[in-house]
């Protein structure tokens, strides 16, 4: 099976890039299932019902979250209606779940959402929790397991790789909005430290640059905003899994505005 993962859709610019390109990419790359990260999809902070339905209409099958999952309070009821998850290591009393299960081409598939520690909200230990959750899923017969690790620290994501690479199919980093050049398939596990944002590419992590510049020069912050007339980028990982849930190939797709796509194959090792 072939899956696509799109990280950190940022605002209207990111949503429009999916509208323009996702249906064609799904056909060209024979994608069976598409995952996207929603936490910045509604003007950079959280997700509204309207934008959720919009993204699903473009071909997204389910969505993961992060530290901005709850910025729009209407999401508290949306978890029951839409294929959305949030980081599993929020307190157990928090609305929503951190695991999404489905069947793709006759195979049981689990998609997980986990949040790191460094600079993030107060959450349970991601490392001990994910080991236990993966162990339970394996006992239930899940071999195809995909993890969105939403974390600031690259070392946390890299640690997750060596902690789980023998037991999960893919570990895909989100949150920093800056794509990393380390896509690889290690011992049958697809890994990239950060997929990178889909949205404005001519600002600071998808936002206008004025407030970040003010902050570094004066120490005073302000409200981050998105430039509605920006240059945009789409960044997506496409990976293929065999019947045992091992990754047999991965590639990074980038599209700048409406220019031809750029495809980079992941390094295969092991």
Residues 6+ apart with CB under 8 A from 127: 159, 160, 163
User: How many CB atoms are closer than 10 A to CB 221?
Assistant: 10
Q: How far apart are CA 187 and CA 141, in angstroms?
A: 20
Is 159 within 8 Å of 151 (Cβ atoms)? no
User: How many CB atoms are closer than 10 A to CB 228?
Assistant: 11
Instruction: Return the closest-CA partner of residue 197 out of 17, 53, 32.
Output: 17
Q: Can you tell me whether residue 22 is helix, strand or coil? A: helix
Residue indicated by tokens 């895909």: 172
Strands 232-241, 247-256: pairing is antiparallel
Catalytically annotated residue among 21, 68, 175, 177: 68
User: How many CB atoms are closer than 10 A to CB 163?
Assistant: 15
68 is catalytic: yes
Residue indicated by tokens 């495809």: 263
Catalytic residues: 68
């Amino acid at each position: 099976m072939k899956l696509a993962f799109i990280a950190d859709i940022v605002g209207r610019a990111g949503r429009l890039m999916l509208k323009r390109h996702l249906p064609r990419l799904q056909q060209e790359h024979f994608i069976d299932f598409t995952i996207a990260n929603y936490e910045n999809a509604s003007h950079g902070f959280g997700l509204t019902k309207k934008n959720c339905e919009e993204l699903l209409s473009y071909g997204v099958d389910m969505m993961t979250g992060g530290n901005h999952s709850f910025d729009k309070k209407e999401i508290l009821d949306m978890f029951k209606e839409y294929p959305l998850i949030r980081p599993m290591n929020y307190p157990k009393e928090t609305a929503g779940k951190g695991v999404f299960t489905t069947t793709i081409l006759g195979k049981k598939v689990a998609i997980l959402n986990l949040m790191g520690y460094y600079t993030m909200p107060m959450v349970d230990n991601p490392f001990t929790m994910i080991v236990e959750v993966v162990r339970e899923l394996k006992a239930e017969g899940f071999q195809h397991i995909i993890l969105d690790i939403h974390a600031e620290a690259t070392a946390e994501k890299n640690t997750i790789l060596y902690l789980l690479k023998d037991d999960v199919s893919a570990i895909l980093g989100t949150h920093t909005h800056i794509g990393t050049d380390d896509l690889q398939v290690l011992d049958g596990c697809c890994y990239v430290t950060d997929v990178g944002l889909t949205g404005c590419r001519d600002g600071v992590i998808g936002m206008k640059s004025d407030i970040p510049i003010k902050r570094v020069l004066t120490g005073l912050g302000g409200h981050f905003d998105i430039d509605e007339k920006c240059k945009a980028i789409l960044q997506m990982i496409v990976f293929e899994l065999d019947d045992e849930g091992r990754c047999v190939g991965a590639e990074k797709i980038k599209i700048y505005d409406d220019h031809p796509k750029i495809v980079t194959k992941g390094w295969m090792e092991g």
